[in-house]
Structure 1
């Protein structure tokens, strides 16, 4: 069942990730302002179009929604739900999405098959392969269709990333992402997002 409009506070925290992202969203900085402006003006439109290409309408969950800029860009035709481990991120996202929940994406507080699509961007690169497989397995429980957008090995930010405060991010090759998805899903599609100047790769899993 979807949460009622408003914010449902579900304290299912993984402490290390929580502290990292709470710090990011709590402390204002010129750097964070610049990151979020670029995401809103440019990348949110590109990544929301990726979601629209896979699903023309329906119930969607952004698992690790941050400020919910991609959810906002989806517009009409979607029942939009966002979740994030950071309380401060969810507070920031309230003006863009009404259905929000604070939780750990490793254990989603939703029933089986609650959504038509689960997606995220800028999230999965912060987990190792084993964690990613576990998280995607949880996603599959809640939705038969999963879309993740991750940084590509062709990204210029692989050399130097002035935007990322989180350490140890993985830059994926198509084969690496495809191998992970095939461990969980029967149908897998992986492609570079050319509109992002090959900064990102989209991976879709179903079945």
Structure 2
């Protein structure tokens, strides 16, 4: 399955990649800042970096960033983007289940939209590796599509039935508590973010834009307490390495 998934990403990253900063990038960036701040001079590794867009932003703020991916094309895109912005980064071609990086090196290891493509045991392997390379007292931050987010689930299901889902095998996550426990990482927090971003998945459904815009307008008028009733697109699971 891993080889098939790698082929999916190689194909995806072979197309033109956008580095436009968007609202989803912003909420992920804000989540990182919530857990590690200030960013300057921190050592940060993104395990399964894809475009590397957010790591590029962190590098521009003075973080020492390392991007790890098993897609050479993904890393090639990232190197080019970093070069265009005159930012420094380290790029490692590696399977994140066996990361080619030393122990206890990083203040933060993180990824977004990665673990949902792996089995339970593979998730544990990845978390073990992320913990290994994180400094004692450092943060392990994981963002995955949330199983309780209705717009995401509806759009994804429609796209899969129509044969237009381009992200391969993707199992939405309810919690990573068991995986963190199996990895020996204390789980500090698990929350969700990005309800409005989840509505983008309705774009897979023809003529859904009027419904999407109506939901956005309705949601924005809710109180913060009411907004919390509706699960967001991403589950945010945060652990801390002991020591």
Q: Give the alignment's TM-score, normalised by structure 2.
A: 0.69
- 1:181 maps to what in 2? 180
Q: Does 1:22 align with 2:6?
A: no
Aligned length: 185
- 2:34 maps to what in 1? 53
How far is 1:201 from its partner? 0.8
- 1:4 maps to what in 2? none
Structure 2: gaps (5+ residues): 199-231
Structure 1: gaps (5+ residues): 1-13
In 2, distance between residues paired with 1:131 and 1:187? 18
In 1, distance between residues paired with 2:74 and 2:192? 28
In 1, distance between residues paired with 2:165 and 2:121? 22
Structure that is richer in helix per residue: 2
- 1:66 maps to what in 2? 50
How far is 1:166 from its partner? 2.4
In 2, distance between residues paired with 1:121 and 1:46? 11
Secondary structure, aligned partner of 2:21: helix
Q: Deviations over 1:133-190 (max 9, x none)?
A: 11101111001421010001132121222585123312122xx322222222124311
How far is 1:194 from its partner? 4.6
Q: Equivalent of 1:158, from 153, 157, 161?
A: 153
Is the contact between residue 181 and residue 188 of structure 1 (CA under 8 Å) also seen in structure 2? no
Secondary structure, aligned partner of 2:28: helix
Q: Give the alignment's TM-score, normalised by structure 1.
A: 0.80
Q: Does 1:204 align with 2:238?
A: yes
Q: Equivalent of 2:100, from 109, 112, 116?
A: 109
